[in-house]
Amino acid sequence: MAGYQVSILRRYSFEAAHRLSWHPGKCRALHGHRYVMEVEATGPVDERGVVADFAELDAQVEQHVLARLDHSYLNDLLNNPTAELTACMIGDWLSEAAVPWTMLRLWETERGSVVLRRPS
């Protein structure tokens, strides 16, 4: 298995509300979303045969992201809680917690998502 870069991808969801005071349309009013978040970890396969253990990644994401965001009001955390800025905040939290993430995708709606790639 030497030489391969392997990625794992886990999907999570949380419910949160927000409003965008600058928005000229519906998003100006208080509303909520069922966000879907995908977290990718990439690297070599270790001596256990994994890039990262699913359960370990799940526990880190639960503690550092989902516990903070599920059923929250995003305006309490960000002045302008757009999908882009929310994804960046989540990326910061994952990095601060030493989660080995390489890509984060945050779906705000069924057709709209933001992709964040961790800087090298």
Is 3 inside any structural domain? no
DSSP state of 27: G
Q: What is the DSSP string of 52-101?
A: S-HHHHHHHHIIIIIHHHTTEEGGGT-SS--HHHHHHHHHHHHHHTT---
Is 1 inside any structural domain? no
- The pTM of this model reads 0.94
Is 4 inside any structural domain? no
Q: What gap in Å lies between CA 111 and CA 113, rounded to an integer?
A: 7
Is 5 inside any structural domain? no
| pLDDT, tens digit (0-9, with 9 covering 90-100), for 21-51 | 999 999 999 999 999 999 999 988 999 999 9
Tokens at 27, concatenated: 């998003």
Is 68 inside any structural domain? yes
Is 109 inside any structural domain? yes
- Active site residue ranges: 27, 71, 108
- 20 alpha carbon, distance to own chain's centre: 20
Tokens 């516990």: give the residue. 67
Q: How many domains does the chain have?
A: 1
- Domain span at residue 79 reads 10-47+54-117
Give the rounded percent of residues in the chain with a pLDDT score beyond 90.
Answer: 90
Residue 93 sits in a domain of what CATH number? 3.30.479.10
